[in-house]
Amino acid sequence: MCLIALALDAHDEFALVVAANRDEYYAREASAATWWSDRPGVWGGRDRAAGGSWLAVDRRGRLAAVTNVRDPSAPAGQRSRGALVADFVGSDAPLADYAADVAARGAEFAGFNLLLFDPAAAEPLLYVSNRHPQRVAALRAGVHGLSNGVLGSDWPKVRMLTGRLARSLADAGASLEAELLDALADRSQPDDSALPDTGIGLARERMLAPALIAAPEAGYGTRASTLVAVRRDGRVETLERSWAPGAERPRVAGERRARFSASRRTPDR
């Protein structure tokens, strides 16, 4: 993933709402979201190159999502960051233990931001990074956002998406799905003065600035937009919208949905 906004305990109906875009090279093969054949209780997209995922959720309502931390000077990691998602969902590892283990093994991976959610945990949402000085942080109730900087980086598209998520939750008459899909498809270009400087040059910062990236000349763009809503009664609703790779203008290639009730578990207290 390259853009994520989420709301934890920020609405009477929802325990968690996630809206996210995955950006990737068009040449990197991936499978659209579905139930995994090797882990039947897990739903999400799959990276065919390394077998991991950018966002996935299991039937207990456990969710993981990852973004890279942009650093052109950093060496490639020994392992794919998608393994951080795949190894969590469907596993029995307690949330806090898994986060601590990932933090201890952070040097195996290129820069990452990892979000881990378990509705049964005492602190249900953890942020883990091998680039943030805190390494592991519990996120409190409210709206949070990430792109390719560490937690707290004030990037225009993060500000836009978190703002749209917060306003949609506050508006009783709004269609949450329609509002968030529209926000994830936003192609607006921020002023150059608002762009981050991550060492890749202004032209590439501009290319990567919109929420929805379409750069066929670079063979790169937004490949999928994903929504996940975990209701307080345990119902989970997911939607993945795929974008046609290499299109001159962004074009929806398909949609996948899953709805299920998360299995009840004794909270880790």
Tens digits of residue pLDDT in 108-152: 999 999 999 999 999 999 999 999 999 999 999 999 999 999 999
Q: What pLDDT, on the 0 to 100 scale, is given for residue 40?
A: 86
> Whole-model pTM?
0.96
The superfamily (CATH) of domain 3-261 is Penicillin V Acylase; Chain A (3.60.60.10)
d(CA 240, CA 227): 6
Write out pLDDT tens, residues 54-87.
999 999 999 999 999 999 988 888 999 999 999 9
Residue 172 half-sphere exposure, CB side, CA atoms within 13 Å? 1
d(CA 224, CA 24): 9
Q: Do 120 and 93 touch, CB atoms closer than 8 A?
A: no
Q: HEC string of 225-236?
A: EEEEEEECCCEE
Q: How far is CA 258 from the centre of its chain?
A: 17
d(CA 101, CA 81): 14
Per-residue pLDDT at 268 exceeds 60: no
Q: What pLDDT, on the 0 to 100 scale, is given for residue 265?
A: 64
Q: Do 22 and 1 touch, CB atoms closer than 8 A?
A: yes
d(CA 4, CA 18): 7
Q: What pLDDT, on the 0 to 100 scale, is given for residue 246?
A: 86
CA distances from 75 to 26, 70, 196 (A): 22, 11, 21
What does the domain layout of the chain look like in residue ranges? 3-261
> Can you name the residues that pair with 169 across neighbouring β-strands?
none
Per-residue pLDDT at 1 exceeds 90: no
Per-residue pLDDT at 269 exceeds 50: no
Q: What pLDDT, on the 0 to 100 scale, is given for residue 264?
A: 66
Write out pLDDT tens, residues 174-228.
999 999 999 999 999 999 999 999 999 999 999 999 999 999 999 999 999 999 9
What rounded mean pLDDT belongs to the chain?
95
* CA angle in degrees (0–180, nearest 5) for 163-89-87: 115
